[in-house]
Amino acid sequence: MARPIELDSEGARTLPAAARARGLAEVLERYAALVLVVLAAAGFALRAGGVGEVGFAEDEINKLEAVRAYDRGDFTENAEHPMVMKALIYASARAADSWGLNAVGDEASIRFPNVLFGTLTLFPVFLLTSAFFGRRTGLVAAALWATGVGAVTYNRVAKEDTLLVFFMLFALYFYIRAKQASGFDPAAKRKNYLLSAVSWGLMFASKYFPHYFGLNMLYHYLFHVRKREPGEPRGNTPALFYVVVAVTFLLVNPAVLLPQTWKYLSAYSSEGLLTHHGYLMGETLYHNVVSKAPFGATPVYFYLLYLVTKTPVPVLSAFAAGLVALWRGRREPGAAFLLFMLLFWIVPYSLFGAKWLRYTLSLMPFVYMTAAVGVVALTRWLKGLLKAERRPGLAGFAGLASLALFVGVPAWGAAAAGPHYALYTNALAPRPAGYYFPHDELYDDGLREAIEYVAGHAPPGSTVAHETPGVVGHYLARFGRTDLRSEVISDSRFDVTSAPGPVYAILQRGRTYFENREEMERVRAHFKPETQIVIDGAVAAEVYSKE
């Protein structure tokens, strides 16, 4: 039978299956399943804790509307996204309704599927890392994912990226297992090819990002994860693999066959559905659309700035060390894989397309895997140094110290950032949270509280001016103020400054657009300030009024 390639921490020798546990690392490896369960519990606590304390974002209201449409038998709502995410949210929301859990608010039930799948993603992270670098590195990578603020943040948002990552990692892992299996064992190859195919189909049905499939094929065309033995059959990817991908995709995403879906996708991809434009980054408003990329849109250093300012410094240091280790071993399959995936994520995403921080969720597994390689390399170097200095006692604590520094400290920082994880900013950032990426860092956080203030103070029949019709409509209904008139500031048919009073304007720095920035300045200059919603030092929303 074929067995997965399992290397020790030095990446050079096969790890004996019956090796005795002699230190912390060996103990953790020996009880890997238990360690993963503990990590999953910690990861779930971070993701689920206070998940309903943050109000809905406008994008999440679209998912709520899709749930209501599914109730009516309409599967074309929010058609730019496939069905898996919406189906899971539908099941979660209906279960919460039946158990009476939505009586206070439905934020938690809408986000629960991603909380769950985001937690479970540590398992494919572990498996994929272990397939290349061994269980020790795999456990470190899983720990970094479970407690990493970059993963936790976007696993708490009802968007498709969490499911994309979950199924993509399994698809990559099973495909690697198929390639690692001997050609003399066609049954093992076939099983893993089929498991990979199902995972790819589910990934496509989670988010329409097919380029990861192409990257997988390109990597395996350029690199080989094992050498064939003399006379061994080639074991190429069977045609059935592609059939299973397509069948799985269509079975769980039948709405893609509807003409209305293609009509909507055509309008969406041609930017015909955009009602406003702009992304405020620092003090500069940039275009953030495909047609303006690469040099007429958000800066090409967008994602690099995110990594430098939003990744905990110990993880960033381990990532840098990991890059050095990977470059030195770049001819090895695992090193080549991570360098390949990092390169083909950073370059295309930085040059082409709209930029949003939630897209980084598909980057972070490779960042954490690289950091895990760095942690193991640094620990090995430190142990060697201490032994050379004839301090074997201290060398025995090197592993524990590494885990405390590279996993424990960042995990503590992530826990302290909750429940507003997106505002986490490391010590390297020269500006405070909410400055560089206000839209993504706040993501309508605080808007619910601003609407609640307006609902409690606005006279009957007042106008509420804002940029989030879905969120405002949802919370005005919850707060019993459907009498208030809702208007969008960036709508060319509405002028907030000349509208008859009373008018309450809700301004969000993260929702500054080319269509509304002048009106926002006029509101600040001529309206009466009512209140500010401040979250962890960042102004999330401002409320102004005029009679």
* DSSP states of 395-427: HTTHHHHHHIIIIIHHHHHHHHHTT-GGG---T
Q: Are 5 and 180 in contact (CB under 8 A)?
A: yes
Overall average pLDDT of the 414-424 stretch: 97
Query: Model confidence at 80, in pLDDT bands (50, 70, 90)?
Result: confident
d(CA 323, CA 281): 28
Upstream peptide bond of 210 is cis (omega within 30 degrees of 0): no
Structure tokens that stand for 448 in this block: 């619910």
Q: List pLDDT tens digits, range 113-125.
A: 999 999 999 999 9
Structure tokens that stand for 389 in this block: 């200095």
Residue 265's pLDDT is 78
Flag whether 9 is in a domain.
Answer: no
Overall average pLDDT of the 249-266 stretch: 89
Judge if 96 and 212 occupy the same domain.
Answer: yes
Q: Are 140 and 407 in contact (CB under 8 A)?
A: yes
User: Beta-carbon neighbour count of residue 76 at 10 Å?
Assistant: 14
d(CA 63, CA 87): 10
Judge if 260 and 354 occupy the same domain.
Answer: yes
Flag whether 430 is in a domain.
Answer: no
Query: Model confidence at 232, in pLDDT bands (50, 70, 90)?
Result: confident
Specify the range with the lowest mean pLDDT, choosing from 288-292, 328-332, 485-489, 501-505. Answer: 288-292
Q: List pLDDT tens digits, range 177-221.
A: 999 999 899 999 999 999 999 999 999 999 999 999 999 999 999
Judge if 373 and 467 occupy the same domain.
Answer: no
Judge if 218 and 73 occupy the same domain.
Answer: yes
Q: List pLDDT tens digits, range 359-409.
A: 999 999 999 999 999 999 999 998 888 877 767 667 668 888 999 999 999
% of the chain with per-residue pLDDT over 90: 78
Query: Model confidence at 234, in pLDDT bands (50, 70, 90)?
Result: confident
- pTM tops 0.75, yes or no: yes
Q: Are 70 and 86 in contact (CB under 8 A)?
A: yes
d(CA 497, CA 521): 10
Query: Model confidence at 17, in pLDDT bands (50, 70, 90)?
Result: very low
Overall average pLDDT of the 102-107 stretch: 78
Per-residue buried b or exposed e for 411-432, using 16+ beta carbons within 10 Å of the residue's own CB? bebbbebbbbbbbbbbeeeeee
Q: Give the DSSP letter string of 456-506.
A: HHPPTT-EEEES-HHHHHHHHHHTT-TTSEEEETT-TT--TTTS-S-EEEE
* Main-chain dihedrals φ then ψ at residue 409, nearest 5 degrees: -60, -50
Query: Mean pLDDT over all residues of the chain?
Result: 91
Supply the range of the domain harboring residue 322. Answer: 24-417
Flag whether 395 is in a domain.
Answer: yes
Residue 104's pLDDT is 63
Overall average pLDDT of the 528-539 stretch: 97
Judge if 494 and 391 occupy the same domain.
Answer: no
d(CA 529, CA 523): 9
Flag whether 520 is in a domain.
Answer: yes
Query: Model confidence at 16, in pLDDT bands (50, 70, 90)?
Result: very low
Query: Model confidence at 293, in pLDDT bands (50, 70, 90)?
Result: confident
Flag whether 431 is in a domain.
Answer: no
User: How many folded domains does the chain comprise?
Assistant: 2
Q: List pLDDT tens digits, range 310-369.
A: 999 999 999 999 999 999 999 999 999 999 999 999 999 999 888 999 999 999 999 999
Of 376, 397, 417, the last residue of a domain is: 417
Judge if 161 and 306 occupy the same domain.
Answer: yes
